[in-house]
Amino acid sequence: MDPRIIPFLQSHSTIIVVSSTVAISLALALKWVRPKPLPGIPHHPITSFWGDLPAMAAAAKENGTIYEHGSFFERSMRELGPVFQIFIGPFSKTIVITDPQEIEDLHLRERSKFIDASDVLIRGFQSTIPLGQVAMKTNDVWRKHRRITAPIVSSKYLNQLAPVIDHNTRLLVEYWEKKIEIVRREGGTCFACAGDFQNSALDMISQIIAGRSLQAIPNAISHLSKAEPTRNAQGALTFPIPGVALLDATHYLFRCIGDAVTLPPVLSTVYQKVLSLTPRFRHHYGVICDHIDSCLADCRRDVQQARALGEDPDLAESMLGMIAAREGTPGQDDMSDKEIRDEVLTSFFAGHDTSALSMQWCMKFLTDSPHIQKAMHEELVAAIGDPALERKPLTFADVSSEKTPYLEAVVIELLRCARVAEGTSKQTTADIILLGYHIPANTDLIFPMTSNQVNDESMEKVLHTFDNVRSAASKEQGPNARRPWKNGKEFDPERWLVDNGDGTKRFNARAGFANPFGQGVRACAGKQLALLELKMYIAALNLAFFLDKIPEELSSYAAQINVTRSPIYAYVNPKPWKEVQA
Ligand code: HEM
């Protein structure tokens, strides 16, 4: 025998022994290792190594996602109550909380200091935006970032931003007017709208945050006459419009974050390390960073010019403009260029897809509720003026809840029902008690948005049985925090309106529970901006168009989740109000 073969055989026998041992251990692990529940907290029976994963996969297959009506989370909250634990494999356990009163009390009062952003979420953002506030625990750096960026959602800046938002919503109206002509010419039934909202929302967020629109909608308008639309079996047209590099880059990086969040800790870190070295990642990341760096340079130059002319540099109409105007001012915090870039990217990720998807869901809800469209149109025409006669720019004040309460109710109801962020997550930093259950430190908590709709009168009976274990403050606030919804799964803006007794109505933000932006110190940083954008989009579209029926096959509410919850079918059939029968 060739002596060189001996070490080869030896090394191979090692491989054989090692791999058989691994295989046997894995088989034993799969048979014997089980998730270990926290004592006393309800859970589904544990029958395998995988915990709830098979049930979740089956529910997702049957219902589209685990967050849909009748799917995993709704079934679990009805079977197990408002606090339960779920297991994804043997080592990951998460506590789910669905009681509105307890969710609010935990985030806003005494126990809020014992919860923080979860490691899972933070890890997911690490390779893309490590210095963005969403990727940080609630520490001094996070507080500095909030101090510097938060003024952009104050009334002062929102007033200044309203013309920018109005301009972008008008461009969308103009685009749709042209599309309607083509759909009619081609004998189509409706057109796809998902891409329109994605493009428009990214134009808008880029202009508001970085000071420069991407011009995706103006480009689409100029390409429309040459575009050859495709037509599906139901007569819906889709217009092929040249892609915008920044939109592709934003979507790609956002998807990478979504993948990283769903992977177990070690895999997530390795995945992100490898990903960050790939040419595709580097290309997309580079496209976005170049855009932001060049916008920042423009803003700094504008500020210098304004100062040189003795003008106020803080009339900026963007977050970067606002940051540049305050840089170097005594007593003000500063961020490094890398910190600024990560914050801008955070806003692109957090603020573009959420707004675009909310609008897609909105189109579905409104199409299926002509009476709501008509009531909103009447209110807007009375408050703002008939756009057929004169369409003045919409202002911040035009869409306030005092002037247009019905519009306000439509937006809140839309967010309650759309659930684009399908849940929020936190992690305990100390032992806490939740509805009488002991939860140790470092436990993951999730708050599925399902509870915004499912907490109806039947669930209320169950929640009532926990009233004696609530905190003192919660007991005091109780009736305010937890009014059960009647027909909670229906889209009904009226539920947010109160009769003034003189034929008019006012908006009541405390009519019942909805937390689409999360709650407490780590709630959505862009909530006020998002609300203003949605109100102005909906007002501009509703002033211009009535959304007519679309073929039934395209009206489904089926959803999918890719970080956020989106409708699978997003089509519209708008027509001018003058064609609508009274
Ligand atoms: C309809 C639109 C939007 C929805 C439904 C939404 C929802 C949310 C939710 C649920 C969270 C997590 C809150 C939590 O963990 O408790 C969040 C976080 C955040 N959102 Fe929004 N958001 C929207 C628009 C925006 C916009 C327009 C911006 C900014 C331009 C923005 C910026 C942020 C940021 C920076 C965070 C992270 C906050 C932190 O970790 O401290 N969002 N958002």
The answer to whether residues 200 and 206 touch, using CB atoms and an 8 Å cutoff, is: no
Mean pLDDT of 185-211: 95
> Quick check: helix, strand or coil at residue 546?
strand
End-to-end CA, the chain:
98
- Reported as a single tens digit per residue, the pLDDT across 281-325 is 999 999 999 999 999 999 999 999 988 998 887 766 899 999 999
Per 3-state DSSP, what percentage of the chain is helix, strand, and coil (rounded to 5)?
Answer: 55, 10, 35
Ligand 1 centroid to residue 194 C-alpha, Å? 20
pLDDT band at 336; cut points 50, 70, 90 = very high
Length of the chain: 582
pLDDT at 56 over 80: yes
Map out the domains of the chain as residue ranges: 53-127+424-481, 150-421+516-579
DSSP lists the bridge partners of residue 101 as none
pLDDT band at 9; cut points 50, 70, 90 = very low
Mean pLDDT of 14-43: 78
Q: What is the pTM of this model?
A: 0.92
The CA distance from 27 to 502, in Å, is 72
Report the nearest-CA residue for atom 19 of ligand 1. Answer: 524
Question: E strands within 68-154?
Answer: 83-88, 92-97, 115-116
Report the nearest-CA residue for atom 17 of ligand 1. Answer: 524
- 167 token code pair: 């301009």
Feature table: binding site for heme: 524
Mean pLDDT of 386-402: 83
Class of domain 150-421+516-579: mainly alpha
The CA distance from 100 to 455, in Å, is 8
Ligand 1 centroid to residue 424 C-alpha, Å? 10
- Reported as a single tens digit per residue, the pLDDT across 64-101 is 999 999 999 999 999 999 999 999 888 888 999 999 99
Helix residue spans in 385-512 (DSSP H): 405-418, 451-454, 457-464, 472-481
Least confident of 49-63, 175-189, 386-400: 386-400
Q: What percent of the chain has pLDDT over 70?
A: 94
- Comparing C-alpha atoms, which of 565, 546, 547 is closest to residue 557? 565
The answer to whether residues 90 and 51 touch, using CB atoms and an 8 Å cutoff, is: yes
- For a mutational test of ligand 1's pocket, the pick from 97, 524, 534, i.e. the residue with the most ligand atoms closer than 8 A to its C-beta, is 524
Is ligand 1 within 6 A of the CB of residue 526? yes
Chain centroid offset of residue 489 CA: 19
Ligand 1 centroid to residue 447 C-alpha, Å? 15
Q: What is the tally of helices (H) and strands (E) in the chain?
A: 20, 17
Q: Would you state the pLDDT for residue 1?
A: 43
33 or 133: which leads in pLDDT = 133
Report the nearest-CA residue for atom 25 of ligand 1. Answer: 351
Q: Would you state the pLDDT for residue 486?
A: 85
Q: Would you state the pLDDT for residue 470?
A: 93
Q: How far is CA 556 from CA 11, 67, 422, 545, 550, in A?
A: 59, 16, 19, 22, 10
Mean pLDDT of 103-124: 93
Q: Would you state the pLDDT for residue 34?
A: 84
**How many other CB atoms are found less than 10 A from the CB of residue 142?**
19
Feature table: binding site: 524
pLDDT at 3 over 60: no
**How many other CB atoms are found less than 10 A from the CB of residue 130?**
13
Is ligand 1 within 6 A of the CB of residue 138? no
- 513 token code pair: 């529970």
Q: Choose the CATH number for 53-127+424-481 among 3.30.70.260, 3.30.70.330, 3.40.50.300, 3.30.43.20.
A: 3.30.43.20
- Comparing C-alpha atoms, which of 230, 206, 233 is closest to residue 218? 206
pLDDT at 341 over 70: yes
Q: Would you state the pLDDT for residue 423?
A: 94
Q: What percent of the chain has pLDDT over 90?
A: 71
Is ligand 1 within 6 A of the CB of residue 358? yes
The answer to whether residues 449 and 516 touch, using CB atoms and an 8 Å cutoff, is: yes
pLDDT at 385 over 90: no
Mean pLDDT of 363-373: 98
The CA distance from 245 to 222, in Å, is 17
| pLDDT mean across residues, the chain | 90
pLDDT at 221 over 70: yes
Least confident of 50-64, 232-246, 287-301: 232-246
pLDDT band at 480; cut points 50, 70, 90 = low
Tell me which H or E stretch contains 56: helix 53-63
- Comparing C-alpha atoms, which of 424, 426, 471, 494 is closest to residue 452? 424
Q: Would you state the pLDDT for residue 478?
A: 67
Is ligand 1 within 6 A of the CB of residue 518? yes
The residues, ordered by sequence, that sit 6+ positions from 422 with a Cβ below 8 Å of its Cβ are: 65, 67, 448, 449, 450, 561, 564, 565
Q: Would you state the pLDDT for residue 425?
A: 95
**Phi, psi at 74, each rounded to 5°:** -65, -45
The answer to whether residues 534 and 413 touch, using CB atoms and an 8 Å cutoff, is: no
Q: Would you state the pLDDT for residue 235?
A: 97
Least confident of 122-126, 442-446, 523-527, 528-532: 122-126
Is ligand 1 within 6 A of the CB of residue 355? yes
The answer to whether residues 83 and 466 touch, using CB atoms and an 8 Å cutoff, is: no
- Give the CA dihedral 24, 28, 30, 34, nearest 10 degrees: -150
The answer to whether residues 237 and 230 touch, using CB atoms and an 8 Å cutoff, is: yes
Ligand 1 centroid to residue 135 C-alpha, Å? 12
Is ligand 1 within 6 A of the CB of residue 134? yes
Q: How far is CA 80 from CA 74, 83, 436, 463, in A?
A: 10, 7, 15, 12
Ligand 1 centroid to residue 348 C-alpha, Å? 11
Q: How far is CA 466 from CA 1, 111, 458, 461, 491, in A?
A: 78, 17, 14, 10, 29
- Reported as a single tens digit per residue, the pLDDT across 143-188 is 999 999 999 999 989 999 999 999 999 999 999 999 999 999 999 9
- Reported as a single tens digit per residue, the pLDDT across 209-218 is 999 999 999 9
- 383 token code pair: 């408050």
